[in-house]
């Protein structure tokens, strides 16, 4: 009975954070937590005692299991993309795309006003214009600056695309 209580306690101490609305997703997360905890109690601890090695904490054991399942080696990170060679038409700056429902990313002034970069308009989904939104008007545009990753108006009446790259802050 002691192992069951210990297992239940450790499952609830090291629970996977999940806010799923579906019952089967919560059940799947609980089963994974329970199996990892039981593996730590019944197999890993006994092997460490038999081999006289120092054992990992349940949390570090869980991290090691997930890393080995995902194929990621400890101490390594994912390779990052590098920008293209300077001066080419394919030059882009690694500016993250804005996430829906969050504040959009504002590029640095060195990127925004750099005329050597190829600030080309790209057509994407309609989002709020960054410059019109500052003025109090809420206009939606489907034009995105390829370098700055900011939506801007670009039509016959309003040309926020040019104004945004010429304004001195």
Q: How many angstroms separate the CA atoms of 7 and 38, rounded?
A: 6
Q: Please give the tally of structural domains in the chain.
A: 2
Q: Evaluate whether residue 151 is within a structural domain.
A: yes
Whether 98 and 160 map to the same domain: the answer is yes
Q: Evaluate whether residue 41 is within a structural domain.
A: yes
Q: What would the 3-class secondary structure string for 115-146 be? A: CCCCCCEEEEEEEECHHHHHHCCCCEEEEEEC
Whether 18 and 66 map to the same domain: the answer is yes
Whether 115 and 151 map to the same domain: the answer is yes
User: Which residues, 6 or more positions from 143, have their beta carbon under 8 angstroms from its beta carbon?
Assistant: 121, 122, 123, 124, 151, 152, 153, 154, 161
User: Which residues, 6 or more positions from 111, have their beta carbon under 8 angstroms from its beta carbon?
Assistant: 93, 95, 117, 147, 148
Q: How many angstroms separate the CA atoms of 160 and 135, rounded?
A: 11
Tokens of 117: 């970069």
Tokens of 84: 């293209």
Whether 169 and 128 map to the same domain: the answer is yes
**pTM of structure:** 0.40
Whether 89 and 126 map to the same domain: the answer is yes
pLDDT in tens, the chain (169 residues): 566 677 778 888 877 777 778 888 888 888 988 898 888 888 887 788 788 888 888 888 888 888 888 876 656 665 555 554 444 444 455 555 556 665 556 677 667 776 667 777 888 888 888 777 666 677 888 888 888 888 888 887 888 877 877 765 4
Q: How many angstroms separate the CA atoms of 38 and 44, rounded?
A: 9
Which structural domain, as residue segments, surrounds residue 19? Answer: 2-70
Whether 57 and 96 map to the same domain: the answer is no
Whether 121 and 150 map to the same domain: the answer is yes
């Amino acid at each position: 009975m002691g192992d069951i209580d210990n297992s239940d306690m450790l499952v609830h101490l090291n629970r996977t954070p999940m806010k799923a609305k579906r019952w089967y997703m919560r059940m799947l997360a609980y089963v994974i937590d329970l199996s990892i905890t039981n593996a730590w109690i019944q197999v890993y601890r006994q092997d460490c005692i038999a081999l006289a090695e120092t054992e990992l904490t349940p949390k570090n054991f869980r991290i090691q299991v997930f890393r080995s399942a995902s194929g990621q080696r400890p101490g390594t990170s994912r390779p990052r993309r590098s920008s293209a060679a300077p001066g080419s038409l394919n030059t882009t700056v690694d500016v993250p795309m804005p996430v829906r429902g969050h504040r959009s990313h504002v590029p640095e002034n060195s990127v925004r006003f750099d005329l050597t970069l190829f600030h080309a308009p790209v057509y994407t989904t309609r989002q709020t214009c960054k410059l019109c939104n500052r003025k109090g008007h809420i206009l939606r545009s489907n034009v995105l600056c390829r370098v700055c990753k900011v939506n801007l108006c670009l039509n016959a009446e309003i040309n926020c695309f040019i104004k945004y790259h010429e304004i001195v802050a």
